[in-house]
Structure 1
């Protein structure tokens, strides 16, 4: 899924859409070296638009409704700030289109929009003018802005003397007073002391409760889950996952859990000429690093391809574990008396299918291991992530089929009567 949407979009005919992006992309020309810059300049001078470029954002589709809250997550360099700059008009897209309606309040790069030589009070006046506030409106809101920023006498000092936390305080205070239709923030909660962060969170919660619309970038999954109903995960400039905030953030955290575990180098294993090594592992035909999403009760199909150095048939083991390493289930082809299928002289494939998946909602890791024909020695491992979606109040890892006795008291009474009768006889 690469689009954040809301069903109300259809019902309203798009009337409540504040931000719309279609196939949005951004690329920058390769100008790392002097000759690259000269080549790019020469092409522009002769009217050639086909510059050698590096894409930083590709194929992003986005619908943000009025009153919605969207969290943008991803590693550094994933394209989050670039997407925000496209939404706010700071950058123009290379491909696709973007449209934002209503008054936008943006807190992007630290101090962006502030003149370092002007005082805080002067910068407030300049920002208010850019937002279209009249002089009398500014006079009315100025005490509120100064109180919210809480930077004391520094409000009349040049901004170049401010700490990073004071700059964010002033910027957020301006936005808080203006209450824009759409608020776009980039890591605003990562700067400043804890008391100011709490003040910002309380203000955002009130802003959303009164119909405000928020796009929030943060590396804190706590703040994303607390303030946002939907999330979009960017990975290497593309949408890795989008949708419900808890599903997307759980998938993102599971991805980082797997990254923190040292994975075997596939090239080194192949070069070592071990007896058996894995060529690939697919979950429901998807061979990818990002998690595969499933619903409770869906079918999970795992397919492993194994390279056999001597052409002997391998034993293939499959396992499922929680992302914290807790084992859930494991089985091998040798245990069930199944032989992998030969694809060619040195390649074998094994596939296992879990119908009506009984895993409870959460993030899991599936694993494949090639073993020798006798099922004694293990040679290699590949892991893939899956996320099981669903709503339940049950505990544990799996759903066990069960039933409730609707008349236990009568059964106990009957058993007691039978016992008494046996004793008297």
Structure 2
């Protein structure tokens, strides 16, 4: 018999009263006093169901206001759901908001005792781990000052240090790594990696897709209070980044248009794999063929220009057919076909725009542009847009001589 999940959510929903207008406030008061009518509300979460087992790590992503923090508060027991059922089997360590569980008038040292006690640690356990907590926080003499004088980063240091000493069954963090400085972020990541390696369970909410990919096996994308996507962290974060690229892109991509006569133009454009099968998705490193049909008003073969760009409009590469003296083949009167093959496609996973342009036979004037899209799949922690072939080599003996020369 398999052990019960540490966290089980079933159709979780959360409504909050809507008091954005004076009319809504009055209707809410009347509904509460007379127990009649529906209380004006807005839905922060709806129909969220998931499980988190011991040793798993789950990332939570989504736009601001999507309902991520509300969901974390429900799991941590800070907020009760309006609908659905929740089951938690284990001790939770939650870092949800700056200063949660801290008293602003107390010193950092006093707040360690207070926060640790709220997390369920005994006095003897706190005393035994106090030195480790102070050392991890690394805020120097400020540990004896009231935390109302602390910066946001110092508050996070203190809160995370308490959580490390507690070593909970489930660690919940909400944007903690976005507040601390770089050295503290690295320290937190090292600790979380060790915590996971020893069987810990993590629920991480972050806007950093790098942290989600690095620390989490799976991810949930919350959109408009609902689970929009759940699965492998690489797949979910890639779709989320693509969503933002498309959202920010103002250019309209046209695939089917009515073409005016009398100009060089692209009549159709499609993508194929190396077997000639039409595709819209390709594994990273695969073979891509860009194929199309162009029209020529004067029966002369046009020059074809193709380009690759991210969906946000960032150009990646482009070239034209007369660079290699390529001439499109005549397939019908005033109609020419073309195909360009890209072996070992170096594009990193994501969504891309493939563009084809029709130019005059001299390659001087551009008349027409048609776009289509390609989704590249795969998993990698490489950065930017494409992968460059490379290999790491050992340092040579002359490196030391070079360094000595620089220092002299």
Same fold (TM over 0.5): yes
The unaligned stretches of length 5 or more in structure 2 are 261-279, 285-305, 319-329, 333-343, 357-365, 387-408
In structure 1, C-alpha distance between the alignment counterparts of 2:376 and 2:247, rounded to whole Å: 16
User: Of 204, 211, 214, which residue of structure 2 is paired with 1:226?
Assistant: 214
Give the corresponding residue for 1:17: 5
- Give the RMSD, CA atoms, in angstroms: 4.3
Alpha-carbon deviations, 1:108-137, whole Å to 9, x = none?
A: 111111110111111111122222222211
Give the corresponding residue for 2:398: none
Give the corresponding residue for 1:82: 70
In structure 2, C-alpha distance between the alignment counterparts of 1:85 and 1:194, rounded to whole Å: 27
8 Å CA contact 1:251, 1:387 repeated in 2: no
Matched, 1:38 2:17: no
Q: 1:246 to 1:390 in 2, by over 3 A?
A: closer
In structure 2, C-alpha distance between the alignment counterparts of 1:320 and 1:27, rounded to whole Å: 48
Q: 1:322 to 1:264 in 2, by over 3 A?
A: closer
| SS of alignment partner, residue 121 of structure 2 | coil
Matched, 1:176 2:196: no
Give the corresponding residue for 1:186: 174
Matched, 1:157 2:145: yes
How far apart are residue 363 of structure 1 and its match?
Answer: 2.6
Q: After the TM superposition, list the runs of 4 or more consecutive aligned residues in structure 1 that deviate by more than 3 angstroms.
A: 263-266, 292-296, 319-328, 358-362, 365-369, 376-381, 383-391
User: Of 247, 254, 276, which residue of structure 2 is paired with 1:259?
Assistant: 247
| SS of alignment partner, residue 180 of structure 1 | coil
8 Å CA contact 1:22, 1:61 repeated in 2: yes
Alpha-carbon deviations, 1:299-340, whole Å to 9, x = none?
A: xxxxxxxxxxxxxxxxxxxx9966366689xxxxxx999xxx
8 Å CA contact 1:119, 1:157 repeated in 2: yes
In structure 2, C-alpha distance between the alignment counterparts of 1:77 and 1:237, rounded to whole Å: 8
Q: 1:192 to 1:70 in 2, by over 3 A?
A: same
In structure 2, C-alpha distance between the alignment counterparts of 1:117 and 1:361, rounded to whole Å: 50
Matched, 1:167 2:184: no
In structure 2, C-alpha distance between the alignment counterparts of 1:384 and 1:320, rounded to whole Å: 12
Q: 1:61 to 1:385 in 2, by over 3 A?
A: farther
Give the corresponding residue for 2:225: 237
Q: 1:380 to 1:30 in 2, by over 3 A?
A: farther
User: Of 198, 201, 206, which residue of structure 2 is paired with 1:210?
Assistant: 198
Structure 2 counterparts to residues 377-388 of structure 1, below 5 A: 386=375, 388=377
Structure 2 counterparts to residues 19-418 of structure 1, below 5 A: 19-48=7-36, 50-264=38-252, 323=310, 362-365=349-352, 386=375, 388=377
How far apart are residue 385 of structure 1 and its match?
Answer: 7.9
The unaligned stretches of length 5 or more in structure 1 are 1-11, 267-273, 276-291, 297-318, 329-334, 338-357, 370-375, 398-425
